[in-house]
Amino acid sequence: MNDPLPSGAVIGILGGGQLGRMLSVAASRLGFRTHVYEPAANPPAAHVADRLTTAGYDDAEALRAFAASVDVITYEFENIPTAALDILEAARPIRPNRRALAVSQDRVSEKTFLNDLGLATAPWAEVNSAADLDAAIARIGTPAILKTTRLGYDGKGQARLRAPEDAADALAAMNGAPAVLEGFISFSHEVSVIAARGLDGSVACFDPGENVHRDGILHTTTIPARLTLAQRTDAVLLAARILNALDYVGVMGVELFVTDQGLLVNEIAPRVHNSGHWTQNGCAIDQFEQHIRAVAGWPLGDGSRHADVVMENLIGDDVLRVPAIAREKNAALHMYGKAEARPGRKMGHVNRIVTKG
């Protein structure tokens, strides 16, 4: 089971969004076929996948047939229902493993795991009631941010507390879901490390990128990030520590805040990550191929960087700028084939290669 998958093997991908789409393309480069499992119709990944199953995560029969048709299973998002994972894992290996999913599906588990590893996070407290929130505010202070422990992404499921008086409104915004209060910390910028670990335990990291968000969604990633050599070393060691502790196989995105007191972990994502899209045009092996290599039991690839890159997400109406971007020098477009441009919807990205001089 730990032999490298041969060319022609089938990689099963849970989730048919843009990450699954770019994973499919990377898998094809290594001679693999892909089978995408996605509940929604006409998913972006289907355009470049060999096979598509359209079924829900509660469809045990479809899940079993999917698992039987593939050699290994990976995923593009972390919020996969546990019951579905149980069915799939009975038939085929899931990489990255269940523990990585369990840890990152839940902010409490994630922060506990990180703190237990000795890694710093922003101050946080579990909030399951108004009394919890009052106690948390008393300890952490405001401003702070209340987040649902599960199913949050791109700023969804979050409420800001400018002052203790905002507590009731913030709690109401959680709709009764378990939540976490996170204290604001003073940081100069956010960076992320796209780290990979192979089935043989080897670890490789791409150069850290520097992230800028807009309206709670990643806007740009710039490589190289502003980091001292010591910070860069810390970032990479810290990511490796997380991967090793989870016996992780695949690519992980590790978001870090750069502070005067050192690096704090913002969050981890057990999958290829938006802040790693720049690798498509800056490296011989990009994050998508690196993930497929790991999942397929291949040696990790050479992720050394041959160019400076600025990645910009194209969100919603940003697609109106595509004709102009198509005329730019040194700009590589990556569109996701989504039919409709809605506000906040990621439609594509552009990697601008920064030439010297």
For residues 13, 16, 19, 22, the Cα torsion angle rounded to the nearest 10 degrees is 80
Specify burial of residue 1 (Cβ count, 10 A radius: 0-12, 13-18, 19+).
exposed
What single DSSP character describes residue 301?
P
Give the shortest CB-38-to-a second copy separation in angstroms.
Answer: 15
323 forms part of the interface with a second copy (CB under 8 A): yes
**Residue closer to a second copy (CB basis): 161 or 314:** 314
108 forms part of the interface with a second copy (CB under 8 A): no
Residue window 5-24: x/- pattern of binding to a second copy, with contact defined by CB under 8 A: --xx------------x--x
What single DSSP character describes residue 342?
-
Give the shortest CB-289-to-a second copy separation in angstroms.
Answer: 8
Residue window 283-312: x/- pattern of binding to a second copy, with contact defined by CB under 8 A: -xx-------x----xx-xx-x-xx-----
Determine if residue 184 is labeled as part of a ligand binding site.
Answer: yes
**Residue closer to a second copy (CB basis): 185 or 332:** 332
In terms of C-beta distances under 8 Å and separation of at least 24 residues, what long-range contacts does 35-42 make, across chains too?
35/10, 35/11, 35/66, 35/69, 35/70, 37/12, 37/13, 37/62, 37/63, 37/66, 38/14, 40/16, 42/339
Determine if residue 105 is labeled as part of a ligand binding site.
Answer: no
Determine if residue 267 is labeled as part of a ligand binding site.
Answer: yes
330 forms part of the interface with a second copy (CB under 8 A): yes
User: CA nearest 213: which of 283, 274, 148?
Assistant: 274
Count helices and strands in the chain by DSSP H and E runs: 11, 17
281 forms part of the interface with a second copy (CB under 8 A): yes
201 forms part of the interface with a second copy (CB under 8 A): no
Give the shortest CB-247-to-a second copy separation in angstroms.
Answer: 22
69 forms part of the interface with a second copy (CB under 8 A): no
48 forms part of the interface with a second copy (CB under 8 A): yes
Determine if residue 297 is labeled as part of a ligand binding site.
Answer: no
Determine if residue 274 is labeled as part of a ligand binding site.
Answer: no
d(CA 260, CA 243): 25
The 3-state DSSP class for residue 271 equals coil
**Residue closer to a second copy (CB basis): 32 or 57:** 32
**Per-position b or e across 78-104, b if 16+ CB within 10 A of its CB:** bebeeebbebbeebbbbbbbeebbbbb
Give the shortest CB-75-to-a second copy separation in angstroms.
Answer: 20
CA distances from 139 to 20, 128, 170 (A): 41, 16, 17
User: CA nearest 218: which of 282, 157, 280, 153?
Assistant: 153
Give the shortest CB-21-to-a second copy separation in angstroms.
Answer: 7
The residues of the shown chain that bind a second copy, judged by CB under 8 A, are 4, 7-8, 21, 24-25, 28-34, 46-50, 281, 284-285, 293, 298-299, 301-302, 304, 306-307, 319, 322-323, 326-339, 348, 351, 353, 355
Report the binding-site residues for ATP. 107, 147, 152-158, 182-185, 190, 213, 266-267
